[in-house]
Structure 1
Amino acid sequence: MSGTDLETTPYAALAFAVLAASTSAILVRWSHAPSSVAAFYRVVFTTAIVAPIALVWYRDEFGRLSRSDLAFAVVAGVALAVHFAAWFESLNYTSVAASVTLVQTQPIFVALGAVLVLGERVSRTTVFGIVVAIIGAAAMSLGDSGQAPLADATMYGNALALLGAVTVAGYVLAGRSIRQRVSLFPYVTVVYTACAATLFVLVGAQGHDYVAYPTSEWLLFLAMAIGPGVFGHTVINWVLKHLESVVVSVAWLGEPLGATLLALVLLEELPDAITVAGGLVVLVGIYVTTIERERTSG
């Protein structure tokens, strides 16, 4: 593989992961199980896929995990659990476009955390790219004409989506720090295990049944794990070792565009011209931020 191929691979993987993640909202909408239950089994099945790989090929690395890295991985897992629980529930109160767009305001929090916690430098051009992408995402929501336009969505649903944004920002920042020292599969195994344990407690606290669901629901849980779980979040964790957290987070803003297009086809949530224009602005923000990263790192 040439040097150019090695440089291109993280960006190709990032694009693939964003596409896979775009299917998440659709799968959640199709499920009739409680939100916390769907989130729990998504993570359980994802863990069942990645843990055997970690235990067979990376067993020795678990013993070399420092206490601080282990603690941060657990914190990342808890943050991811809160993200899933809040975001899945928000989809019960607003449209796919609105919910996914609100949760993708997380680059604001990632950029702040990258400066304050990780010491990363964020240039003015990167900030400009983030602002452009956020404006585009906001336009998508304002133009949303789906089942529950943003203007009519409850404050509860909006707050849940924003809580999902804050917690996933913490998850991204923790991953960026730890992934410089820990291999992908040991890291995600610890994170997903902590996430699943947190969601298990939440399901019980809410009084939901753990197993009484039809076959169709179990297939949806498995699809959530394989698609947005393995090909989405797990690939993102691999990318975090090779690209800055701000770049990854802004690229994640492509998810509202992908989810909106899928909602159009699969849920018949028809976006209007403002929504389409907003999606194009999001892509401009992603492009500006990615190009700036290439300039400053080169």
Structure 2
Amino acid sequence: MPAEIGLVMAVAAVSVGAILVRWSHAPSSVAAFYRVLFTTLPLIPVAVWRYREEFRRIGRRDLVFATLSGIALALHFAAWFESLEWTSVAASVTLVQAQPVFVALGAWLLLSERVTRRIAVGITVAVGGMAVMSLGDLLGGVLVGPNPLYGNSLALFGAVMAAGYVLAGRSLRQRLALIPYVVVVYGVCTVSLLAIVIIEGHPLTGYPTREWLVFAGLAIGPGLFGHTVINWALAHLESSVVSVSLLGEPVGATILALVLLSEAPTTFTVVGGGIVLIGIYLTTSGTT
């Protein structure tokens, strides 16, 4: 399959994620747990069969970074899934997609990486767009969701945690093949989400068939056919092409929310979201 077609399919698959979360009536942390668990389980036999030697070469330092990366990913999923309970799909998906902005900031603050003028402009533009999205509707009195400001804050926290996942796993990804990397990090993520579910006191069983189908859909669509294919595409396409293509997720999710959930974004969300996407584009194109 050509990488370009695979990338288009992957962006379409991840765009469905927010809709499936909205369709679920289970607690958000439970949906996130099964999303990651069901994504990881099919990969374990492949990893053990084909990459046994790579697992043996994983050192203590790699395990530390894998643990940090997996915990950050768990917090990303938990926060983002919960954000969809409080704000619009358009706002939540756009804000959580802003993780490249926080990756650039984190690389500058923690790794002393150089911030170019283009990156600085991109970060500034994205932050301005976030302010328009989060405060515009509040001041204008037109709200989509029970508490958009809280939901937007959760989505932003999810973006920060996604950036932490990328930064913590950057060196590990360079030394491990895709499948072993995903299994190790997703394994830590699964355990972390299980801990969150237990702490929150939610049951792990007793959900109707409809919920299990949603959990499976989250794993197969956004999980296996989404992010896994995106990681595969990075080995065949320029990273800048992949980064820009991912900006299609908020657009796709917004259209799907309008068609399937009858959820029309407000003017401030559309304008602010457009500004955020421009900022993300400037940031990603400045780092690739």
Deviation at residue 18 of structure 1 after TM alignment: 3.9
Provide the rounded CA distance (Å) in 1 between the counterparts of 2:52 and 2:247.
35
Deviation at residue 143 of structure 1 after TM alignment: 5.9
Moved more, 19-28 or 220-229: 19-28
Matched, 1:172 2:169: no
The answer to whether the Cα contact below 8 Å between 1:118 and 1:177 also exists between their aligned partners in 2 is no
* 1:62-211 mapped onto 2 (5 Å cutoff): 62-136=55-129, 138-139=131-132, 142=136, 147-148=144-145, 153=148, 155=150, 157-211=151-205
Matched, 1:268 2:262: yes
Moved more, 217-226 or 93-102: 93-102
Indicate which of 60, 71, 87 corresponds to 2:53: 60
Deviation at residue 72 of structure 1 after TM alignment: 0.6
Q: Which has the higher contact order (CA 8 A, sep 6+)?
A: 2
Letter matched to residue 53 of structure 2: D
Deviation at residue 119 of structure 1 after TM alignment: 4.5
Matched, 1:225 2:222: no
Deviation at residue 162 of structure 1 after TM alignment: 2.7
Alignment match, 1:50: 43
Provide the rounded CA distance (Å) in 1 between the counterparts of 2:242 and 2:65.
19
Where does structure 1 lack aligned partners over 5 or more consecutive residues? none
Alignment match, 1:20: 13
May I ask how many residue pairs the two structures share in their alignment?
284
The answer to whether the Cα contact below 8 Å between 2:144 and 2:266 also exists between their aligned partners in 1 is no
Deviation at residue 163 of structure 1 after TM alignment: 2.2
The answer to whether the Cα contact below 8 Å between 1:139 and 1:274 also exists between their aligned partners in 2 is yes
Matched, 1:37 2:30: yes
Provide the rounded CA distance (Å) in 1 between the counterparts of 2:171 and 2:247.
21
Secondary structure class of the residue paired with 1:65: coil
> Structure 2 vs 1, CA of residues 119 and 245 (structure 1 numbering), >3 Å: closer, same or farther?
farther
Letter matched to residue 159 of structure 1: S
Where does structure 2 lack aligned partners over 5 or more consecutive residues? none
Secondary structure class of the residue paired with 1:179: helix
* 1:219-258 mapped onto 2 (5 Å cutoff): 219-238=213-232, 252-258=246-252
The answer to whether the Cα contact below 8 Å between 1:132 and 1:285 also exists between their aligned partners in 2 is yes
Cα deviation code 1:126-148 (max 9, x no counterpart):
33234334444554554696632
Q: With the length of structure 2 as denominator, give the TM-score of the two structures.
A: 0.83
> Structure 2 vs 1, CA of residues 274 and 147 (structure 1 numbering), >3 Å: closer, same or farther?
closer
Secondary structure class of the residue paired with 1:226: helix
Provide the rounded CA distance (Å) in 2 between the counterparts of 1:203 and 1:161.
19
Letter matched to residue 198 of structure 2: G
Root-mean-square deviation (Å): 3.2
Secondary structure class of the residue paired with 2:41: helix
> Structure 2 vs 1, CA of residues 288 and 106 (structure 1 numbering), >3 Å: closer, same or farther?
closer
The answer to whether the Cα contact below 8 Å between 1:130 and 1:250 also exists between their aligned partners in 2 is no
Cα deviation code 1:141-177 (max 9, x no counterpart):
546966328xx5253x343223212211100112322
Deviation at residue 202 of structure 1 after TM alignment: 1.7
Provide the rounded CA distance (Å) in 2 between the counterparts of 1:239 and 1:245.
9
